[in-house]
Structure 1
Amino acid sequence: MLKTDLHTGWTVQATGGPVPAEIAASALPAVVPGTVHTDLLAAGLIPDPYLGANEAELAWFHRTSWRYDTTLTAAPAAPGERVDLVFDGLDTVATIELGGVEVGRTANMHRGYRFDVRHLLGDGAIPLTVHFGSALEYAEENERKLGRRPRPYPHPFNAIRKMACSFGWDWGPDLQTAGIWKPVRLERWHTARLAAARPLATRDRLTVHVEVERASAVPLIVEVTVGERTERLALDGDRGVLEIAVPDAPTWWPAGYGEQPLVGVAVTLLAGEEILDEHHSRVGFRDVRLDESPDEHGDRFALVVNDREVFVLGLNWIPEDHLLTRITRADLEAAVDRAVAANTNLLRVWGGGIWESDDFYDVCDERGVLVWQDFPLSCGAYAEEEPLRSEILAEARENITRLSPHPSLAVWNGGNENIWGHEDWNWKEELNGASWGAGYYYEDFPALLTELDPTRPYHAGSPSSPLSSGAHPNDDRYGTRHEWEAWNREDYTHHDNFVPRFCSEFGWQAPPAWSTLVATIPPGELRKDSPTFLLHQKAEDGNGKLDRGLAHHMAVPDDFAAWHWATQLNQARATAYAIGHLRSHAPRTMGSILWQLNDCWPVTSWAVVDGAGRLKPAWYALRHAYAPRLLSFQKHDGRVVLAAVNDSDEPWRGGARLRRVCFDGVERAVTSVDVHVPARSVRLIDLDPALLAVTQPDREVLVADVGGQRATHLFAEDHSLAYDPAAVRAHTVAVEGGYSVTVTAASFARDVAVLADRVDPGATVDTMLVDLLPGETHTFTVTTTATVDGEAFSAPEVLRSANVLTTPAKVG
């Protein structure tokens, strides 16, 4: 097979819609793969849509049509030769013409297309044109034909197969892209080609499924090489299966459980000894299943890899950049590495985004990060009639085939919040009996997976409970649960009211890092109620929820910089609180997937890493809460206990020193207890009543220390605590690679942090949110290439703590 990329010589031009005159005037050079947004950005014809209020100024894109043009030169097809024009991805509503002849129409960015063009080839250059219509107008027309289906946002994202969050989300911009967003090429072949190859590996076996497209009826042979083994299969028809026993296969493990050996697999299609086509991939030998067996609480929901239960320490993943074609493998490596550095072992590819790239899965394979893959249907009712149905099933078939070799892929999930939405979001009256997606979740997707990938478990939706249970989709006794009452209406302490089997979404908002914010919002609008700030706060009543969430615990600052720190700190605390609760209930609870790891642009959101890749304080809280060994105070059955979580393969033994200490350092009660936590288990330790017999709740803290691990517990909320606002001082010295900032406490200091990016936007700090007792010191390491005044790290806006957010009280 001869493959020729068609990525050069393209131009793009607007052909309709409310296009500014200077853009409509002429054709521009186009990068393929790419999108119109990125081409116009490169030409300097539009402002950066991520900055200021530019997103709103570019709404004219929504109803604009475009034309991509290039020429291809290809010799006429030889006798018996096929020549296919192949598009791996078109975004989204496209008409393709070659030599002025229409060869196809598409309306799905989630799949590829192949067109036989051998009859159109001739001598000389041939024009190739791709017309893109407005995806929004197509979706609106589709909705008129199919009937309106419930959705949470104005645009009918659920009536078209385009990335749902293209149309805006409660953390994302409304930038509706168009373009040839994946590779395009010409493929010349004869006799037969590999239409699909699915190497499915379990712990000691490789099963290779092959489908071919034939141009003749000659006998074919499929040869499979895995490691040092090579076997052949004579192919009678168009499909074949070859099973290879690999009893000595190296075992692939998730991060924290072992190594991640990957083994190359080559699938070669032969006619005699002539190589017709090849497929190369890598596999990892491992088994994965879900334990959903009944117990005294309902049904379990535990991921089991190689017969070992894995407590999922997960993060939800959205597209790393809203302008998808800018994402590089290096970007994905950096993003996944930030998750790994936070002790994460699973990423959930959320259903309102895309089927992620092979690069993403390769990176996860190499790092041992498990992947939970949603089918891309989210937060809406989806029609089960044409033209939507066949597109959804075609994209599912293609992507199951593409992704199934990856060992990191652990769970298929039917969609995001659609089953829950049907039950609780007043859909039923609006639907009035119309289809809404149940057929996909309970029939079509399971049938496809039975056929294409029976090696992995499938879950109907997140959240959902088994149909056989008759339980509510978000019942905490079964399946998966999303916990959003805490953020939307209550407080993060609301998590104490539920013990889910597996919590696949929960989270808390905060603004991005300060340096990200000031690079995005004009100086005159750096306030939480400015129009530009609110354009970058997409959540319904988001700031109101931030303020009400703060008010439960601390005074809501009037000063914007203080408010920024307070909301970031509250996000960090909410993150640690929820995860500590979930982990302390293992093995009843067996999974935590925080919403969310990343952002696709600069925005106030639930992400722990902002749109510029900067770590928010919540990332540091997450890293601590997901550590293999975690010590925390928890409320169980109405009492405070010390929870020791050991998610490692070695037992945890040590002596715990527990103290009730005044903020000035005077110890009021001291006890010791032996801590012994077997591998992969949790121990709850009851406290000596003297530790809880607080006499001054506004100025005492309970502290537990075990082998370098510390947990603290306060007896009142911050707004009622007698913190010393000047509890810490810092001394900074220059060191190789940056600065060393040593902080000393004169009184109890809570959540001490160095916001290094306020000194240098490129600076990072090794840790945050450190609790210090009087006389204790902690040294923060700041990494930066900038030369700055070391005293800058002692500035009030840089050296932060919870102490500075309360009204000064007399300390005594």
Structure 2
Amino acid sequence: MISQSDLSGEWRLRDAGGDVIPAIVPGCVHTDLLAAGRIPDPFLDDNENAVAWVGRADWTYERDIAWTGPEHDRVDLVFEGLDTVARIETGDEVIGETRNMHRAYRFDVTGRFTTTTPLRVRLTSAYTEAERVRGIVGPRPNAYPEPFPFVRKMASSFGWDWGPTLVTAGIWRPVRLEGWSVARIATVRPLCTYADGRGKLDLTAEVERTRDRPLRARVLIDGRELTVLDLPAGTTRVRAEIDVPGVTPWNPRGHGEAARHDLTVVLLDGETEIDRWHRRTGFRTVQIDRSPDAAGTRFVIHINGEPVLAKGVNWIPDDIFPSRMTPERYALRLRQAADAGVNLIRVWGGGIYEDRAFYEVCDELGLMVWQDFPFACACYPEEEPIRSEVIAEARENVTRLSPHPSLITWNGNNENLWLRGASGWTDQPGGDLSWGDGYYLDVLPAILAELDPSRPYQAGSPWSGSWEHEPNDPDHQTFHSWEVWNRQDYTRYLDSAPRFVAEFGWQAPPAWRTLRDAVSDEPMLPDSPGVLHHQKAEDGNGKLARGLAAHFPEAVSGELGIEAWHYLTQLNQVRAVRTGIEHWLAHWPHTAGTIVWQLNDLWPVTSWAAIDGAGRLKPLYHALREMYAPRTLTIQPRGVAVLNDAASTWSGDLRIEFRAADGSVLESVSHQIAVAARQVSIVPVTVTGAAVVVATLGEARAVWFDTDGGYGDPGLTVTAEQVTGGLDVRLQATGIARDVLLQPDRIHPDAVVDRGFVTLLPGESAVLHVRAPIALDPLAVKEPWVLVDLATVLTPYR
């Protein structure tokens, strides 16, 4: 059997001058320097600039190692991830070299570490490597003034319009010594599909040998032997297509059980087990309907033959230092997504192929994964020394991720096919050189045709399917909506119904405590230096201000206080995203899904995220849970949209009330409706003089207002009761209380609340549940800005 010696834990980190500090592996240089007190917190104020030198320096990780396990034919040194340009040495001997963060590495060190011996991992700055490669292949245009296209590394390490420039280096995933004899399982690639009531397993296994003799591989599902495969002497690869009756299919969230099964491959030398591979996998069939219709070209995801309305979020790396990610943190963040009604996670192309733990949680929760290859917002050279690295990383990761039923589609890149023309890159230096289309249109689809034909591939996002249409044509396949936010008000979302909206969003600052912990400005203002440093979007605060002016002109006519600015920008983010999602989902199946930009942040920043960089839930998160619910009502220009994304008919009395500005009912009508499963029905409504329209069906409700502002005195009464684990806060309104918000982090840094913005009509009440790790004082809800409503915020500016 395989023997392993874990080399994670304590190492030494040496700088170019010879100074040494303790280091932890897995980790990175920044986290080790932070732990040693050698650099300030890069998340605070503008310390990001003060630590920029770290990413331009060279570093060395060291430790003494020895193989103390049983005697084996071979001993390997295995790095699951090196960031990024590394030379591995022992004594004067070079064991190997790397230049790709997205790959694992295995080096034969048999006989080298029989006694305690020093091991060094020398890391060259990614800047140095990128500049070397750029000197070989020539310049290329990109959206950011950093050289990330010239090195196979997490692009967002070099900064983005929501992220800091903190260029990492380190041993970022586990490392070990591994001893083995005769043979080992090098890879297993199981493609698991489901049709006609039974599973099908297309399994390919590769072995590495030290001895040429006959071997066998037992294949088991849930402990039941499916077959035994022979590997004659000298063979290193075996493939079999196996029928698997009696399995339950994997389904996405909201469409049935996300069933998983234990798949095991046991390698035998005679009757002796010498290696074993095991994963939890699932059987399902994925198709994307990209057929033409009268309106353009569809983009409808089908799982097991059934169309699925995609309710998605874009995922960026959850930490600028990804070595800090743990299985527990992945589970927390992905469960938060699932609890918000999300059924699809898009792993964005400026990040990484995530850890196995990420995909296992998605498998468990029924979260479909759309996986980008790591190319984003740039022209990428197709020559060496980059080309072979791209091919190697793609082949490795397609194989590595193949067991996961949650992974439903591969995507070639983020915005590269679109931006080359839209951003005028062809007229910039290097614009006439290779730029990546050969990867997206030839290399990657060929790799997938060979290694994973079970999953559909798309050349890019956005992509209209061919050069016949502009890549970001809303009528053809996937679309990114960025004219809204960058140049237009969010009401312009209503102007079109794209076929699938893969990116759109609106900014807001992080939770108050997150912002306050990251910015020490006194006074803190919307445009004070620290606040602006934590705003990375071009003219981001200007766009926020213009967005407010379109809806709350009275609040921006003069100086807007930081508290009011914080509240109103949060509210505008919710209203903007709600406008888009509710409009587009009401066009199902013409519009077959939305993927909000973005779920998460990787540091404390004003951004499009629903969960901020400290892990606090912004009001947008709670709004997503309402918008992505299985059954929702929305009031659209076309009428009341009844969206039934459940498995059974939604029937009942749809009541529509027309109210005056004081909330009194002017008129009401009822409609008996029955909306079939997975369908949308539009009930026409004519608004004649009403200031407020309210639609209810069962427990679902939608409210429409004819203006954005407040509606007079809400007559709001607030009482708080101390309960086990926190407070129950009861709201009671005598008028219209619009957009009441309780900000729990203003009570305690770790406090949470179960709802975001709440609107009450006259006579209505609601209870907000605040929970915290310590007992809370009920009087805390009376503190300034803990609980506010729109009318109270706007009053000083009227």
Task: Specify if TM > 0.5.
Answer: yes
* Corresponding position: 1:57 with 2:55: no
2:135 maps to 1:144? yes
Tell me the matched-pair count: 785
What does residue range 316-715 of structure 1 map to in structure 2 within 5 Å? 316-430=314-428, 431-467=430-466, 470-555=468-553, 556-557=555-556, 558-636=560-638, 641-687=639-685, 689=686, 692-694=687-689, 700-715=691-706
- Give the structure 2 partner of residue 313 of structure 1: 311
Q: Deviations over 1:50-72 (max 9, x none)?
A: 12222111011121111111112
CA distance in 1: counterparts of 2:718 and 2:605, whole angstroms: 31
Superposition CA RMSD, Å: 1.8
Match of 1:67 in 2: 60
> Is 2:790 the counterpart of 1:802?
yes
Aligned equivalents of 2:110 and 2:722: distance in 1?
A: 67
1:200 paired to 2:191: yes
Q: Distance between the aligned counterparts of 1:644 and 1:284, measured in 2?
A: 33
Identify the range of structure 1 (642-651 vs 739-748) with the bigger mean alpha-carbon deviation: 739-748
Offset at 1:534?
Answer: 1.2
- Which residue identity lines up with residue 6 of structure 1 in the other structure? L
Shift of 1:117: 2.1
Q: CA deviation at 1:385?
A: 0.4
Deviation at 1:533, TM superposition (A): 1.1
Matches of 2:116 and 2:774, distance apart in 1: 53
Paired position in structure 2 for 1:93: 85
- Are residue 296 (structure 1) and residue 272 (structure 2) matched? no
Structure 1 788/119 Cα, relative in aligned 2: closer, same or farther at 3 Å? closer
Counterpart position of 1:763: 751
From 174, 180, 193, the equivalent of 1:183 is: 174
- How far the C-alpha of 1:559 sits from its partner, in A, is 0.8
Contact 1:724 1:809 in 2 (8 A): no
Paired position in structure 2 for 1:224: 219
The CA distance in 1 between the partners of 2:137 and 2:580, in whole Å, is 41
* Aligned residues of 1:664 and 1:746 also touching (Cα < 8 A): no
Please report how far the alpha carbon of residue 502 of structure 1 lies from its aligned counterpart in structure 2 after TM superposition: 0.6
Q: By how many angstroms is 1:809 displaced?
A: 10
Q: Any conservation in 2 of the 1:34–1:182 contact (CA below 8 Å)?
A: yes
Q: Does 1:112 align with 2:108?
A: no
Deviation at 1:528, TM superposition (A): 1.6
Conservation of the 8 A alpha-carbon contact between 2:141 and 2:431: no
Alignment correspondent of 2:165:
174
4+ runs deviating over 4 angstroms? 75-78, 807-810
Aligned with 2:153 (options 157, 162, 169):
162
Does the 8 A contact of 1:77 with 1:83 survive in 2?
Answer: no
- 1:18 aligns with none
Question: Do the aligned partners of 2:161 and 2:537 also contact (CA within 8 Å) in 1?
Answer: yes
Q: CA deviation at 1:542?
A: 0.5
CA contact (8 A) 1:446 1:458 kept: yes
The alignment partner of 1:605 has SS state of: coil
Deviations 1:645-666 (A, max 9, x none): 0100111112122122123232
The answer to whether the Cα contact below 8 Å between 1:725 and 1:806 also exists between their aligned partners in 2 is no
Measured in 2, the distance between the counterparts of 1:809 and 1:36 equals: 49
What SS class does the counterpart of residue 740 from structure 1 fall into? strand
- Report which stretch shifted further, 294-303 or 481-490: 294-303
Partners of 2:459 and 2:376 in 1: CA distance? 13
Structure 1 residues 380 and 563 mapped into 2: Cα distance closer, same or farther (>3 Å)? same
Cα distance in 2 for residues equivalent to 1:239 and 1:201:
19
What is the rounded CA distance, in whole Å, between the counterparts of 2:189 and 2:536 in structure 1? Answer: 41
Specify which of 13, 31, 44 is matched with residue 24 of structure 2.
Answer: 31
Q: Would you say 1:82 and 2:74 are equivalent positions?
A: yes
CA distance in 2, matches of 1:177, 1:725: 53
Return the alpha-carbon distance in structure 1 between the equivalents of residues 19 and 252 of structure 2: 52
Query: What amino acid does structure 2 have at the position aligned with 1:104?
Result: G
Deviation readout 1:753-795 (Å, 9 max, x if unpaired): 2112211222111112222111211121211243343233244
Q: Specify the alignment match of 1:20 in structure 2.
A: none
- The answer to whether the 8 Å contact 2:649/2:675 transfers is yes
Structure 2: distance between partners of 1:391 and 1:25: 32
Please, which moves more after superposition, 726-735 or 440-449? 726-735
Corresponding position of 1:10: 11
Q: CA deviation at 1:808?
A: 7.1
Deviation at 1:291, TM superposition (A): 0.9
- Secondary structure in 2 matching 1:173: strand
User: Structure 1 counterpart of 2:87, which letter?
Assistant: T
**Quick check: 2:481–2:501 contact (8 Å CA) kept in 1?**
yes
**1:657/1:796 CA distance change after superposition, 3 Å:** farther
Secondary structure of the equivalent of 2:634?
strand
* Match in the other structure for 1:21: none
Letter in 1 for 2:12: T
Alignment match, 2:780: 792
Once residues 12 and 707 of structure 2 are traced to their aligned partners in structure 1, the CA distance between those partners, rounded to angstroms, is: 64
Amino acid corresponding to residue 81 of structure 1 in structure 2: D
What's 1:734 paired with? 722
Q: Contact 2:717 / 2:732 at 8 angstroms: preserved in 1?
A: yes
Output the CA distance in 1 between the equivalents of 2:321 and 2:631. 38
CA distance in structure 1 between the aligned counterparts of 2:55 and 2:221, rounded to whole angstroms: 48
Q: Please, which runs of 5 or more residues in structure 2 have no aligned partner?
A: none
Report the alpha carbon displacement of residue 274 of structure 1 after superposing the two structures with TM: 2.5
Cα drift, residue 120 of structure 1 = 3.3
Residue 713 of structure 1: how far off its partner (Å): 1.3
- Change in Cα spacing, 1:8 to 1:646, as seen in structure 2 (3 Å) is closer
Change (3 A) 1:785 1:189: closer
Counterpart AA for 1:441: Y
Counterpart Cα distance in 2 of 1:229 and 1:589: 44
Shift in alpha-carbon separation, 1:75–1:767, aligned structure 2, 3 A: closer
Shifted more, 312-321 versus 772-781: the winner is 772-781
Partner of 1:118, secondary structure, is coil
State the Cα deviation string for residues 104-132 of structure 1 (Å, max 9, x = none).
1111110011222225344x222111101
Match of 2:742 among 734, 754, 770: 754
Match of 2:613, SS state, is coil
Aligned-pair CA distance for 1:83: 2.2
- Give 5+ residue unaligned stretches, structure 1: 16-23
* Partner residue, 1:235: 231
User: What is the rounded CA distance, in whole Å, between the counterparts of 1:665 and 1:809 in structure 2?
Assistant: 23
Q: Distance in 2 between matches of 1:185 and 1:408?
A: 29
Aligned mates of 1:563, 1:597 — CA distance in 2: 22
Q: 1:673, 1:682 → 2: CA distance?
A: 15
- 2: CA distance, partners of 1:121 / 1:323: 31
Q: Structure 1 313/662 Cα, relative in aligned 2: closer, same or farther at 3 Å?
A: same
Once the two structures are superposed, residues 424-463 of structure 1 have per-residue CA deviations (whole angstroms, 9 ceiling, x without a partner) of 1111123443111111111111111111111111111010
Pair 62,121 (structure 1): closer, same or farther in 2 beyond 3 Å: closer
Aligned 8 A contact 2:258 2:363 in 1 = yes
CA displacement, residues 697-719 of structure 1 (integer Å, 9 cap, x when unaligned): xxx2111122121111122332x
TM-superposed deviation, 1:508 = 0.5
Give the C-alpha shift of residue 25 in structure 1.
6.2
Deviation at 1:88, TM superposition (A): 1.1
Does the Cα contact within 8 Å between 1:631 and 1:645 map onto a contact in 2?
A: yes
